[in-house]
Structure formats: C-alpha cells, structure tokens
Structure 1
Amino acid sequence: MDIQNLQAFLLVAEEASFSLAAERLHLSQPAVSKRIALLEQGLGSELFDRIGRHVGLTEAGQALLPHAKAIVQQLFTAEQAVRDLSGDVAGQLRLATSHHIGLHRLPPVLSAFSKSYPGANIDIDFMDSEQAYDLIMQGRSELAVVTLAPVADDSMITRPVWQDPLVFMVAADHPLAGRRDCRLADLARHPAILPGLNTYTGQIVKRLFAEHRLALQVTMATNYLETIRMMASVGLGWTVLPRTMLDPGLVALPVAGTAIERSLGLVYHRGRSLSRAAQAFVAVLAEFGDTASRT
C-alpha cells in the first residue's frame, strides 16, 4: 500500500468528499480518485460508497481506517526521528490551536519562542479544538494548544496550561441583569446563545443543566466566541464565556451553586517522537502557564 494513497484515503474519509480532499492535497480530483482506485485495486475491495454526491465508507473502508491512521502516524514519527539527529532547534513545527486561544493566550508565547529559536518556523492551523484533536490523531499536526477534552483519550498526552473560569453573562438591559439571586432554573426560562453543544465548552454547559434536569433554550449556537459575545451584548440572549471576555457591553451574572471552568492546554500523540522544535515550544509554553514561577 502506497503511503500517498493511504493519505488520500484518510482525507476522503474525513471530508466525505473527493473534491475537498483534492483541495487539501493540492491535487486534481481525478488524481485523488486514481489514488483511491489503486488502493482499492491492491486490496481487492471497494472502500467508499458513492451515491450521488454522498461519499461514505464501506465495511472494508471502516476496517482499513484505524490501520491507515496508525501507519501514517508511524511514518511521521520515523521522519521526525531522522530529522532530530541534526540536533538543532530548527525546521517547521506544525501547531493547531483555536481562534480564541490564538487571539488571547498564544501571542506572548509565540513571541518568546521566535526570539529564542529564530531558526524554527511555526505553521499554525486555526480550528475548533475537536478538529485539532483529530489532526493530532492522524499525525498531521505535531502539537495542539486547545480546550482540553472533558474525557481523556489514552492515545493522547495532555498537559493543562491555563484554567479558564467560565462566567454567565447578559446584556446590561437583560431581564436577569442585576439579580443577585439568579438560579439555573431562571436561565432555563430565557433564550441562550452558546458555543455549539458538540464542542468541549458546550458540553460543560450542557452537562451542568442536565445534572439539574433543566432544558436549555438555545436559539443560536456558534463555535466563535467573539461572535457569541457580540450577540449577547445586543440582548439576543444570555451566554457562558471565559471570564477574560467580559467587557463593558456585558455584565456577569452570579448563579447560585455553579462554578464552572475549562482547561486549556497542550495535546500531542503518545506514540509520536517530538521534534526538537516541538520540545522547545513545550518548554516555552510552560513558562506562561498558571503554575509558572514569576520573578
């Protein structure tokens, strides 16, 4: 099995689209289709069902998927081990992060890293934290600095860097603004604007309300926290955001019996040998964490 064919297979499976996979590989769609056809020919099985515009894995494709991920991951690890023999902190580091962390947390880290290691270049991909985990799993990103998953994955190494308290917020003219005895039941009676409930942050809020047997009235959901803050500030609903995002357009809403937060931190694959550039970045990142000593 050719490694390029396996990489094409993984991208088609992830995107459920030959055209989108071709864009990411910077190839034509026929070239990607040829790679999949060669792989199917070598295995003697069709890997994808093609029904109209829908592309889905066959039973054979489902069986191949975890092995293809492991093979690609091992290849990246082997390549990195050879590169590390040079001993220099140089080359390219592939880093995945969320828009929020990239805007509010990473700038001083990136500045310090660049000054200390000018020979290293960081290629940053901005995406949802959940997507970053997938990139790490597939070996297509070396490190991720993201919202950590509520449930640990044994194949990943995670290191908390910052604790990020979450705060209920409303516009100053919201009916609940100014109340000191607000409870979750009061919030449940008003529309909410929240991070997608499939995101790690959304899951924290969803679990909190589920524990109190309360339903959420989510009228709008988006994964972009800056957009949520803007919508809440114009009175479209209450929200939950990191405390650091509280601005003059919003007021914090104390809610009895709640204290929620999320962990932001580092993620990388347990089976991957980190490059010297990645090891150096991990060390610099730790200097900016909540537990770092300051002189």
Structure 2
Amino acid sequence: MDTPDRQLRNFLRIAELKSLSRAAEELDQTQSGLSRQLAALEAHLGKPLFVRTGRGVELTEAGRKLHDAIHGSYRAIDQAVDTIRDSHGTTQGTVRLAIVHTVSYYFMADVVAAFVSSHPGVNLSLMGRSSPEVVSLVESGKADLGFVYDTAVATPTLASHPLFEDEMCLVTRESAVGNEADDDGIDLRGRPLRLVGFPPAYALHRMIQSAGLHPDYVAEAETVDAILKLVSTGVGDCILPCRLPDKLLADYGLRKIGIRSPLLRRRIVAISHGERHALPLTGALLECALQVARSLP
C-alpha cells in the first residue's frame, strides 16, 4: 500500500542514493513501482521533486525544501525506535550473513554455535559468495553483516571490523612427490604452477596475481569442495587458507605445504553498513564473531 509515510521514506532514499534504480534495488521494489510512488507524491505536492542527470537524479528546489523539512524528523523517529528496541532486547527475527566461501570451513561453525546458543529463537541466514558479492550484499542492505577479505572493501559506506589474518598454503595430493619444500615452506617464485582456483573476481585469485605469480589455471570452481575434488584427480594443485581442517583435506587425499615466498596473507574483516543503525541481533552476531576470532591461534 502506497501510504504517505512510505512515499516520503522512498523519496528520502532516492535523494540519498541519487538514483532511482539503486533505490529500487535497495528497497526491493521494481523501478517502475518506485517511479509510480514518486509520481503520486509529486502529483500530491504539485511540484517535481527530481530532475534527471546523466548520472542519476538531483533534487529540484521543491525537493530540497521537502528533504530539509522531513529528513531530521524521520531520523529522530528511527533513532527512537532503535533505542526502544535496544533497551528491551531482541530475541526473535532473522539475521542475514554473507560470507566468503572459505571461512565456512574453519570459522563459521564456532560463530554459529556461539550465536545460536544465546539466541535460540533467531533464524541465521547464511549466504556464501565471492568477496565482491559479499560487499555488494551488505552495501545494498540485502545482508546485515558480511565476512570478507579486507582488500575487497573499498567503499566509504561500509564499516570494517578486523577479525583475523589468513595465511595461504599450497594444497596438493598426498601421493605427490616434491623436494622443494623445507621446514619453512616452499618458494613458489619462478616455479611452474598448475592450479585449480576460484574465478578471477574472487579475492584469492587476485591475491595470487598481485603477488607476482602467474600460474597456469587448468580449472576454475566457485566452491572449496569443488576445487578440492578437482585437485584430488591430479589435474593440478590449489592455493587455499592454511586454516582449512586437515581432516577435510585428508578426505580428498590431499595435504598442505606451507608457502615461504611470496607471502600470501590477507585479513578477514566483518563489514556492516556504516550509514545504517545496526539492529541488536546484528551487533550480537558481530560480537560472537569477534570473540571467536580472538580465540583463534
């Protein structure tokens, strides 16, 4: 139902994003539906509120006056609602968490266990994605929290909370023979590499490239299990976080080899939308993640 309140809130979101299409995506509406609501508001006021530009929309003089008149009031209302919710606590609802695929194998189980045990009535929705997709989901409001490589976070709208560092290792078959590695690991520089890896958009793929390595990618896959299955067939090795459980690798007949050079290390961070007040459940999940991260060796 297109109530005046909804029309005004949608107007504020369009003004903030300066884009009808981006506002429609964030509000989970069709662009045509959002346009009809805006047209109804403009018809009621008798003035256009936006003008189209080459890069989106800009407020007209009437739009600026309306924005200035209602922006503070709506912010005060939202803050009052959030304060009441915070003071009474939240025990039910859904938290949407987007994560890079790799952390689901060695970090998420402890986080989920800690969170669910203290919030049994809450539904935790997990979405495994690439780093850019995790950033996009949190930025658009389709995820409340994200766990991602810090190199993928390049937007001022997101708040970043350091969790832990991930160091990479070479994963190869147990039966593979190699004498290049010592107690400090293997030097991959100048060494021919046949790898199974993530697609180019993934942070791990870009990390390998930025370290000066130029492997021959014999196959690509979007999940850790698919990568390990391919490596187990002998088509190539892979580079994955050292924190992957040894039992998982053993199930595929694989082993880890430390990498001495180049240093392949990235920080995992939790990200939230810095311009929105986080719900209490989101804050509780973040605190669980920080506590688990602090306990990691």
With the length of structure 1 as denominator, give the TM-score of the two structures.
Answer: 0.69
Contact 1:287/1:293 (8 A) holds in 2: no
* Map of 1:177 onto structure 2: 178
* Map of 1:126 onto structure 2: 128
* Map of 2:234 onto structure 1: 235
SS at match of 1:253: strand
* Map of 1:35 onto structure 2: 33
CA apart distance, 1:236: 1.0
* Map of 1:223 onto structure 2: 222
Pick closer, same or farther for the CA change 1:127–1:170 going to 2, 3 Å: same
Is the counterpart of residue 273 in structure 1 residue 277 in structure 2?
Answer: yes
Contact 2:173/2:234 (8 A) holds in 1: yes
**What amino acid is aligned across from residue 98 of structure 2 in structure 1?**
A
Pick closer, same or farther for the CA change 1:135–1:256 going to 2, 3 Å: closer
SS at match of 1:166: strand
- Greater CA radius of gyration, 1 or 2? 2
Is the counterpart of residue 63 in structure 1 residue 56 in structure 2?
Answer: yes
Aligned-partner Cα distance in 2 for 1:105–1:76: 36
**What amino acid is aligned across from residue 181 of structure 2 in structure 1?**
R
SS at match of 2:132: helix
Structure 1: tracts of 5 or more residues without a match = 15-20, 26-31, 48-58, 66-70
- Greater mean deviation of Cα atoms: 38-47 or 158-167: 38-47
Aligned-partner Cα distance in 2 for 1:76–1:133: 25
Aligned-partner Cα distance in 1 for 2:142–2:280: 17
**Identity of paired residues, percent?**
16
* Map of 1:164 onto structure 2: 166
Pick closer, same or farther for the CA change 1:34–1:258 going to 2, 3 Å: closer
**What amino acid is aligned across from residue 63 of structure 1 in structure 2?**
G
SS at match of 2:276: coil
CA apart distance, 1:256: 4.3
* Map of 2:107 onto structure 1: 105
* Map of 2:292 onto structure 1: 288
What is the root-mean-square deviation of aligned Cα atoms in Å?
A: 3.9
Aligned-partner Cα distance in 1 for 2:238–2:75: 41
Equivalent of 1:115 in 114, 117, 121: 117
Contact 1:178/1:253 (8 A) holds in 2: no
CA apart distance, 1:228: 1.2
Pick closer, same or farther for the CA change 1:250–1:46 going to 2, 3 Å: farther
SS at match of 2:148: strand
* Map of 1:56 onto structure 2: none
- 1:10-25 equivalences under 5 Å are 10=22
Give a deviation string over 1:162-197, Cα, whole Å, max 9, x none.
2222101222444x634337543453x342212223
Aligned-partner Cα distance in 1 for 2:81–2:171: 51
Contact 2:115/2:288 (8 A) holds in 1: yes
**What amino acid is aligned across from residue 102 of structure 1 in structure 2?**
S
**What amino acid is aligned across from residue 164 of structure 2 in structure 1?**
W
**What amino acid is aligned across from residue 220 of structure 1 in structure 2?**
A
Aligned-partner Cα distance in 1 for 2:133–2:237: 26
* Map of 2:90 onto structure 1: 89
Pick closer, same or farther for the CA change 1:103–1:89 going to 2, 3 Å: farther
Aligned residues: 254
- 1:140-159 equivalences under 5 Å are 140-149=142-151, 152-159=154-161
SS at match of 1:288: helix
Is the counterpart of residue 258 in structure 1 residue 258 in structure 2?
Answer: no
Aligned-partner Cα distance in 2 for 1:145–1:250: 27
CA apart distance, 1:275: 1.4
Aligned-partner Cα distance in 2 for 1:260–1:251: 18
Give a deviation string over 1:16-48, Cα, whole Å, max 9, x none.
xxxxx9xx86xxxxxx4742664797789999x
CA apart distance, 1:12: 7.9
CA apart distance, 1:253: 3.5
Contact 2:50/2:57 (8 A) holds in 1: no
Is the counterpart of residue 203 in structure 1 residue 189 in structure 2?
Answer: no
SS at match of 2:151: coil
Contact 2:132/2:152 (8 A) holds in 1: no
Give a deviation string over 1:234-285, Cα, whole Å, max 9, x none.
2111210111335232233344433322222311122121111122222222
With the length of structure 2 as denominator, give the TM-score of the two structures.
Answer: 0.68
Aligned-partner Cα distance in 2 for 1:270–1:79: 15
Contact 1:40/1:46 (8 A) holds in 2: no
